Amino acid sequence: MKTIKAKKLNMTQLFKDDGRIVPVTVLQAEDEVGEDLINKKVTVIGNSKGRGFAGVMKKWGFKGSMATRGQSDKPRAPGSIGAQTPGRVMKGKKMAGRMGNAKVTIKGLSILRVDSLEKKIVVSGPVPGPRNNKLQIRIYEN
């Protein structure tokens, strides 16, 4: 297994000969890359986009309370967080907090094109993080 360090440039799409459209991500490799990488299966590892401090509706998809019946300032609140017994908040409870900026691994991608002069790699599908995000590409031998 070979590892290449790269930087995410942008996303685009390729048009196949049979008329299919394939979403791809263009990456800038730090090391030299060769044409022998085409059609190799890869795993891409990087940090996801940071979303800052997020409430429970954004972070976990909670529904929220109704807007009527006296709900002036609580429609986006999480509601009850537990019963009187055991008298504490259970571990793993879905609550508001920092969202994103976590290590993400995307498996099952493949290299579709390689530009060895500009050190660019075109990978099928999305990869984690914003533009200019540092990534690791793990190449598996077929």
pLDDT, one tens digit per residue, over 20-30 is 999 999 999 99
Domain range list for the chain: 2-50+99-140
pLDDT, one tens digit per residue, over 70-119 is 777 788 889 889 999 999 999 999 999 999 999 999 999 999 999 999 99
Q: Tell me how far apart the alpha carbons of residues 101 and 62 are, in angstroms, rounded to a whole number.
A: 21
Helix (H) or strand (E) holding 58: helix 56-60
pTM exceeding 0.95: no
Cα 10 to chain centroid distance, Å, stands at: 14
- Dihedral-angle region of residue 87 (phi above 0 means left; psi in -120 to 50 means alpha; beta otherwise): left
Mention every residue, 6+ apart, whose C-beta is less than 8 A from residue 72.
none
Class of domain 2-50+99-140: mainly beta
